[in-house]
Every structure is written in structure tokens, then in C-alpha cells.
Amino acid sequence: MNPIEELSPKGVWRNFYALTQIPRPSGHTKQVADFLVDFAQKNGAEAYIDEAGNVVMKKGATPGYEDRETAVLQAHMDMVPQKTKECKHNFETDPLDVYIDGEWVTARDTTLGADDGMGVAAAMAILEDDSIPHGPLEVLITRDEETGMEGAFQLKAGELTGKYLLNLDSETEGEITIGCAGGMDVVCSMEYQEEEADTEGKLCYNITIKGLLGGHSGIEIFKGRANANKLMTRILFAAVNTDLAELCSWHGGNMRNAIPRECEATVLVPADKKDEFLALIEKSKAIFTDEYKDVETNGFLLTATPVEQMPETVVPQEIGENLINAMMAAHDGVLRYTPSMPDLVETSSNLAIINVAEGKAEVISLARSSQDSMKLYLCNGLVACFSMAGMKVSLEGGYSGWQPNPKSALVASMSDIYEKMYGKKPIVGACHAGLECGIIGVNYPDMDMASYGPTLVSPHTPSEACHIPSVQKFYDFTLEILKNIPKK
């Protein structure tokens, strides 16, 4: 037995460990969906996969609670697949290597998947324990939340009957979330005719940035962490625009909702400008280190490594300059804080993915805002920026934010319960991350909703960790909420 399975509450940790052994990156969730259906059926619950690929589980009330309103426990089955540059882990086939580190559970060189495996594991623990008092219960585990909330978008009206929904996908114990930002993917693409590389008298270098903290592009965007794509843009802007280098290829980031931790570009450098080019790399490293010394506390690596095999093609100079200029101009980070709540980010964007190679260029940014008008303003600015570089730009996967309901009976009850249990009031507010509640609410407008969870740090990065003591508090709180769901 793995030591994690012995942690308390055992039901939650045992089920969470089981989830870490099942590959479940976004876009590859069939295996975990089948596992969840089988688990529920073995524990006396009705369970099926709906047309959207979500898992729906339903279990009757425990004796004495038949007259309660139906409650919905909601989480998502997929996880963000991020790993260190050196890690050989295959998220589609390999189990995670998870371990205990003091008061935390984490994974070796990969994301942990506690976002939102912890929410799924808590729901599983409740389903399998017949001694837990609760009214009629529905569990909704959605598909591909991390890549566009596709399961929530495709959830049909009438699939659920519950009046109260507990979203188990927040990441700070002691907080209850009642609203979140909306989002939009800004997808830019173009094709170009590669030029044959003139390698006479030139050297090839691979510029690499790695080791940045990265993070969740919603909940950690305010921390001002370095974006590897932006740092590389600054280097290329200085090198390509001054004829120190020709761009051959450029790759950075792999998830729309993760701040890019790594980026690499291959360039050709005139041999007689080698020293000047390498001096630029060293100067950039010194500048970035100074700029982010209080933020990137683990340090990072910026290297220019000689490449023996010369590239056959390069990006045409005008195309390369236009792409670099657009990336320089494109907004990244916080755009505006909420005027009525100055500590809460209202609008932001994440320059998430860059791929330039083999005659194709792709850039993806994720724009977020709790104000639809500001989200549109930000998106239109990105459209204008990349259109001027000759790229085709489309806005995809848009959703509005989840608007807070200050009169929520569920939240009032949860706040009272938390204070009685722990002697202090929980923090109630909105967040800048995306949650599925607002999307689900389109088809279930009368459903009362709230979001909460255990404490996680650095989700969407290989440093992701879950605070062990917070899981017990989160789980006990959930059981007490279910015990106190109102009568019909």
C-alpha cells in the first residue's frame, strides 16, 4: 500500500491515489470515465457517461434524509499535463509518481492532478460510505475542463435534478467562491513559404529558457511571474531586428491556461557576430534575473547552445519580424483590477502557446475577464495586433463569468456551518480563474451554487502540491454541508 493511502481521511486519499495511477490529461479521459462508472456501480450508485462524455452518478438518500433537496457534487476528471524539461513521463500512458513531502503531497517532475482529482476523490469517498448522512445525491464529473470546459458546455438541461451544487474545484481551504471570470481563446495562425537557409559563414544556436515557476493563468496571474514566451520575444526582437540572428523555429508553452515555463528558438547567427550574439544572451539573462529576482525565487536557465546540424530553412525575414513585433505588442498579464474590489484581478491575458516552424505559425492567448465588455476589448486588441502581422485570428470557446449571488441561501448556510466548525467565518468572494458554475447555470438557472476545496499551491505546474491537513477540513466541511441540505 502506498503511504498516501494511509493519510486521513483515508477514503479521500485512497481514491485520490487511485486516480493518480490512471492517465487522464485533457483530451484523454475515457479510461478514467470508465473507471468512475465502474466504481460508482460497485458502490450501489446509478452511473453513466452522458452524450458530452461527462460521468453522472446518482445515489439515493440515507435513511432519515429522504425528504431533503437533492444536492450535486461537481468536479472535473481531467488534469493539466505539465512536466519538467528533463522528465520522460508520458501523460497518456504512465501513472504519476506521487509522494509525501512534509505536510504536502506532490508528484515527481509533473503536475499532481489534485486540480481537480481532490474534488473527484472526495465525491468518490462519499459515494462509497453508506454511513454518511445525506439526502438524494447527484455527482457530476465533467470532461476536459482544463482545455475549454467542454463537458460543462455540452451538459444538457434535465440531466441533473439537484437544487444545490457544490463545485469542489477551488484551491484555498477556508474560502467559498461565489463568482469567477469568463474567458476567450484568441487563436492566431498563418502559413508562410519557408526560405532555403544560407548557412555559409553562419552558426546555429538553440536558445532555451526553462525553470520558470509558471502557474495557473487565472489564480496566479497577479503574481507577476515571468512568461517564457514573452522573455524569448524580447531576445528575438533584439537579435533579429538588428541582424544578429535569423529565426528558424520557435516553440513555447503547451496549455492555454498555464503561464509558460519554457520556450526555445533556433536561430542562425553570422560567425563574425557570434560574440555580439552571445553577449546579448548574457545581457538578457542579467536583465531578466534582476527584473524577476523577487518573483522567480527558484531561478531559471537561459542558454544559447551551438547546434551542429544546420537547418535547411529559415522563416522569411519580413514574416519573422512581423511575428516578433506582434508578440512584443500583444498584451500579457493583468490588464485591470476590479474597481469595486481592488485586490481582485478583473481582466488579464496569457500569451500561452507559440509554435513557428515548417511553414506554419500558431499563437494562442487566453483572455479572461469578469466583465464581458472588457473581455471583448482585450480580445479585439489581440485581434488587431496579430492581424497586422498577417495572421488569421479567431475567437473560440468563449464563456461569460459566473456572476455572484449575494442572496444565496446555500452560501449563507455554508458560512454558518464553517464558523460553527472552525470558530471563524470563511472568506466569501469571487476569483479570476474559470469555474464551470456559470456555464452549468445557463441550463440550470435556478440551481444555487458555491465552490470550495482544499489548499493547493502551484496548480498547472510540476510544483503542484496539496496541503494534507486542509483535505481533512475540506472533507469534514463537505459532510456537514450535505447533512444540512434543507428539506423539500
Catalytic residues: 78, 145
181 - beta bridge partners? none
- Contact by Cβ (8 Å): 460, 219: no
Of 429, 478, 483, 417, whose CA–CA distance to 118 is shortest?
A: 478
Report CA-CA distances (Å) from 224 to 127, 219, 245, 345, 444: 41, 11, 29, 12, 36
DSSP codes joined into one string, 325-376? HHHHHS--EEEEEETTEEEEEEEEEEEEEEEEETTEEEEEEEEEESSHHHHH
Q: How far apart are the first and last CA of the chain?
A: 43
The rounded distance, in Å, linking the Cα atoms of 394 and 331 is: 17
- Contact by Cβ (8 Å): 267, 205: yes
| Grid cell digits, residue 285 | 539573462
104 - beta bridge partners? 101, 467
Can you say whether residue 102 is alpha, beta or left, with left for phi > 0 and alpha for psi between -120 and 50 degrees?
Answer: left
Of 82, 94, 83, 107, whose CA–CA distance to 16 is shortest?
A: 107
| Grid cell digits, residue 18 | 487511485
Of 6, 171, 145, whose CA–CA distance to 80 is shortest?
A: 145
Taken as a whole, the chain contains a residue count of 488
Give the pairing type, strands 456-457 and 258-259: unpaired
Task: Burial-class residue 319 by CB neighbours within 10 Å (0-12, 13-18, 19+).
Answer: buried
Task: Burial-class residue 434 by CB neighbours within 10 Å (0-12, 13-18, 19+).
Answer: buried
